[in-house]
Amino acid sequence: MIIKLENIKIREDITEEELINETCAKFKIPKQFIKKYEIAKKSIDARDKNDIFYNYSVILHLKDEYKIKKIAKNIVVLDENEQKAEKIKVTRKSNARPVIIGAGPAGLFCALFLVENGIRPIVVEQGSMVEKRKKDVDQFLAKGKLNTLSNVQFGEGGAGTFSDGKLTTNLHNPLCKTVIDTFVKFGAPEQISYINKPHIGTDNLIKIIANIRNYIIEKGGEFLFNTKAEDFIIEDNKVKSVICTTKNSTNNKLTIETDTVVLAIGHSSRDMFRTLYEKKVNMERKNFSVGVRIEHKQEMINKAQYGDNTKLRLPPAEYKLAYHGKERSCYTFCMCPGGVVMASSSEEKTIVTNGMSEFARDGENANSAVLVNVTPNDFEGNSPLAGMYFQQELEEKAFILGGSNYYAPIQRVEDFMQNKKSTSIGEIKPTYMPGVTLSNLQEILPSFITETLKEGIKYFDTKIKGFANPDAIMTGVETRSSSPITIKRNEKMMANIYGMYPCGEGAGYAGGIMSASIDGIKVALEILK
């Protein structure tokens, strides 16, 4: 018998074994009847700052001789058959090797599920493998020298690699557990399988992604790094081949014949968006958001969320806030406790920001995007690429405002509220590298964004005291929270070109590592059919 025991409140730091002892005592289950156990959930309940506790759920696998006399409250009997993964039936008849464009979460998980079911994909990635990519990113942060093909946006692992490695999602899909279990299998900390808001951390992700790549290669998959997919040969509305350029000293052309192309291209692949538009692939512009990164002292966030009385060794506190104004909404996104603001440009003469934390989340500052919704009505013209050009224009303005040297424009919250250029930095020090320039962000942001940001920050201060701290640092601009387009696909997950599968965040079907990974699996399952 397998049972799940819920609502186990723990008000002290204890070991896993002590937790099981407490659980057995609470539910009156003799420990000798337990074959094995697993923690199903661990969350923090901080609603009452004078009584903060961990809330656990625990799964027990019990010996056959143990019989529960009564199914009490907070006990759920689990179906053992539901614990077993459903066997995938492969009916694909084509001998052509699928080509996956992009080695982010969507592309990697698509490739992983294909090789585990006997299909050997070719993964084409314009950036470098993750170990080399880390060096390219470090060089940009240290010297402002940008590699437009290998950076925070492009390269093995995708944009999520240089973030907090968050695995949170609003999806309620059995594949969520599959994704979590896969990350643990390849080296992620086991606790991500049960904590309420799991994150892996950039430091762990780099190793895990390399492990996934090596496994795919061992199973017969192939990776072509520093190879940019640039065009397609399409006949009778069916994809026939992918034309690539290897980005080395010779720039060799490479044509890969295939009948299956997965477009796991990521939300920043503007060259590919243009190519697909020219190839008359059906796409449309969609809503997205733009704004800034805001930084506070992590200690202040901890105090606001936890208070002063708890004796628990709690992790750095997080927050998730939303404000709904008369005209626009404003919300926090990708909050990084104990993290840094990242230089995330992928094109020359642009500034793009994002947030990053390592697994320990032990930095001095907390940072988060503060974003305002943008709709297709805000763009000029009818092109499905109009949102992309809207993003690009903001990024180019931020580059100039920052000094045209990849320094980011920053502003104190007090100065932003008063619409004046910052002339000094207060108690909160910016973490953005390679450098920052004191500025007035209202010079580059549209008025509908600045006004909504002001309203939102004031409102957020009523939820987290100190959010509107005069010295809080705003760094511009954050424009890549999601793709500006949707590549249309049918019930078989294909575009209007037969054999072409739009996939993941860049295609408009995901919004983070978890949802992109799930979408990659779903596309793989369709290909296996």
- Quote the pLDDT of residue 393: 97
- Quote the pLDDT of residue 248: 72
Answer yes or no: do 279 and 298 share one domain.
no
Residue 91 domain flag: no
10 burial (CB, 10 Å; 0-12 / 13-18 / 19+) is: middle
pLDDT at 475 over 80: yes
The model's pTM: 0.95
For 49, the token pair is: 């700052």
Answer yes or no: do 105 and 254 share one domain.
yes
pLDDT in tens, 194-211: 999 899 999 999 999 999
Residue 160 domain flag: yes
- Quote the pLDDT of residue 85: 61
Last residue of a domain, one of 21, 54, 82: 82
pLDDT in tens, 390-437: 999 999 999 999 999 999 999 999 999 999 999 999 999 999 999 999
- Quote the pLDDT of residue 82: 62
Length of the chain: 529
pLDDT in tens, 24-47: 999 999 999 999 999 999 999 999
Last residue of a domain, one of 52, 82, 112: 82
**Contact yes or no for 458/469 (Cβ under 8 A):** no
- Quote the pLDDT of residue 381: 85
252 burial (CB, 10 Å; 0-12 / 13-18 / 19+) is: exposed
Bridge-based pairing of strands 238-246 and 253-257 is antiparallel
**Contact yes or no for 62/2 (Cβ under 8 A):** yes
The pLDDT > 90 percentage for the chain reads 89
The pLDDT > 70 percentage for the chain reads 98
pLDDT in tens, 55-69: 999 999 999 888 877
- Quote the pLDDT of residue 84: 59
Answer yes or no: do 142 and 218 share one domain.
yes
* H or E segment to which residue 396 belongs: helix 386-401
Give the pLDDT band (50/70/90) at residue 297: very high
- Quote the pLDDT of residue 80: 73
Q: How many domains does the chain have?
A: 3
Residue span of the structural domain in which 37 resides: 2-82
Residue 216 to residues 6, 242, 263, Cα–Cα distance (Å): 38, 21, 18
Give mean pLDDT, residues 280-305. Answer: 97
Calculate the average pLDDT of the chain.
95
Give the pLDDT band (50/70/90) at residue 247: confident
Answer yes or no: do 320 and 377 share one domain.
yes
- Quote the pLDDT of residue 1: 86
Answer yes or no: do 193 and 181 share one domain.
yes
Answer yes or no: do 127 and 244 share one domain.
yes
pLDDT in tens, 358-388: 999 999 999 999 999 999 999 988 899 999 9
Q: What is the CATH number of the domain that holds 496?
A: 3.50.50.60
Answer yes or no: do 323 and 422 share one domain.
yes
Bridge-based pairing of strands 222-224 and 122-124 is parallel
